Amino acid sequence: MTSVQVSREGPDAPPPLLVDEIRRHVAVRLAGVLSWNRVAGLGAVRRRRPLTGVGRSLVVVTRQDDVDEVLDRTEVFAFPYAHHLPGEFLLGSGPVEHRRQRAELDAVLRCEDADRLRRMAADEAETQVERAHRAGRMDVVSGLVQPVLDVVLDDYVGTPGPDPEIRRQWARDLFEHIFLNRGEIPLVAQRAEVAGRQMDAHLASLMVEIRKDPGGPDTLLRRLVEREGSGHDCALDDAEIRGNVIGMAIGWLWHGARAAVLGLDGLLTRPRALELAREAARDGDLEQLRRLLWEVFRFRPVQPRLPRRCTAETMLAEGTPRALRVRTGAAVFVGTHSAMWDETAVPDPEDFDATRDRTQYRVFGGGPHRCPGEDVMGVQLPALLAPLLRSDGLRRVPGSAGCTRWDGLYPRHLAVDLGEGR
């Protein structure tokens, strides 16, 4: 395989400027605090002023109907940080290009992959949990979530190497710039530029190897490369393939890890939900386990809001008493978490109810930009957590060590006891 220089500490890495490091630390910590997005704090807004204009430059959207309208109208409400994206990723594309790229990703993310992905996640999770039983405890992040996601990225996505920790660092640097660098901190932007360049070069080398070996393992990357080679009219070109695979990797390594840890943490906090989840895991009912996890995410979302920017003056909720004119250039706070607590659309929102209809959730956003990995995560997350939930003695370790520790939005540690065995 072609050698690629990959370390952030390499010769092209930016120097660790103290002021930028402090600004980065504050931004990451603030993002972690805001991610809680206390629902009680938005409840009064939803009921009294569900569409709230803050001056002329910010609109807060809290009702489910209005959230859906903003996410559906991509020609007016655009993702505002496309200039932060590493290459040709669909999140930053216009409506026509987005439809083409999304259709290509949907073509390779096949429904028939579900059993393969489930076995892949479950087998690695079983191995890690068995190993942890010998010690009697586990750090869920480093001992379960990261190893499973590494296997999925290696064998399903098709992006092995150069090293799991380097790959996570790439994703971290890119994620922070795309989603958290509102202050345009130079050091964060420079690190993301280095990470994007190195990851792009690594993917290019993998694509060269795929073309040399047409009979190799079936992966998402290979499917995209082969669709391009077949002359398919709408196939992604090389730059689009690399940009979208980088985007998928960020989703797996950041949102996937966050979802797994939030899901387990939420179950451990709710004894009845944990009992139901353990029963579902023992019975092999992964659909019931998925339902429980989705309801956990309604209380503590993977991402509580989505950013959008208005590209042309328009009316929201036109024809209703809450109608609001949104001016060109206004930032739009799209409250996807609030939408899942909207009393006008979600029955008894304060009740933990895993029998809710799937249409009541906005865990993966909505509209044309709804996360293409939703079905993948619906298979992967239950399979990843089920072996751990089957452990008879599963509980948090005593004291502060049993509390989930975060580095901003990214989970760092969650220690659990596994008791005497399963």
Question: Does position 13 have pLDDT exceeding 90, yes or no?
Answer: no
> Helix, strand, coil % (nearest 5) of the chain?
55, 10, 35
Q: pLDDT digit string (tens) for 198-225? A: 999 999 999 999 999 988 999 999 999 9
Across-strand partners of 61? Answer: 51, 334
Residues of the chain with pLDDT > 90, as a percent, come to 68
409: nearest Cα among 12, 35, 89: 35
pLDDT confidence of 422, banded at 50, 70, 90?
A: very low
The whole-angstrom distance between residue 265's C-alpha and the CA centroid of its chain comes to 17
Q: What global pTM score does this model have?
A: 0.90
Q: pLDDT digit string (tens) for 125-155? A: 999 999 999 999 999 999 999 999 999 999 9
Residue 110: CA atoms inside 13 Å, Cβ hemisphere, count? 11
Q: Average the pLDDT over 363-381 and give the result.
A: 91
Of residues 414 and 41, more confidence is placed in 414
Whole-number Å distance between alpha carbons of 60 and 45: 9
Average pLDDT, the chain: 89
337: nearest Cα among 69, 49, 67: 67
- CATH architecture under which domain 40-417 falls: Orthogonal Bundle (1.10)
Across-strand partners of 53? Answer: 59
The whole-angstrom distance between residue 417's C-alpha and the CA centroid of its chain comes to 27
Question: Does position 89 have pLDDT exceeding 90, yes or no?
Answer: no
* DSSP character at residue 82: G
* DSSP character at residue 399: G
Q: What pLDDT is attached to residue 37?
A: 53
Question: Does position 325 have pLDDT exceeding 80, yes or no?
Answer: yes
Question: Does position 3 have pLDDT exceeding 60, yes or no?
Answer: no
Q: pLDDT digit string (tens) for 31-79? A: 666 666 555 457 888 888 899 888 889 999 999 999 999 999 999 999 9
Longest dimension (CA), the chain: 63
Whole-number Å distance between alpha carbons of 181 and 112: 38
Whole-number Å distance between alpha carbons of 333 and 418: 41
Write down the domain spans for the chain. 40-417
pLDDT confidence of 312, banded at 50, 70, 90?
A: very high
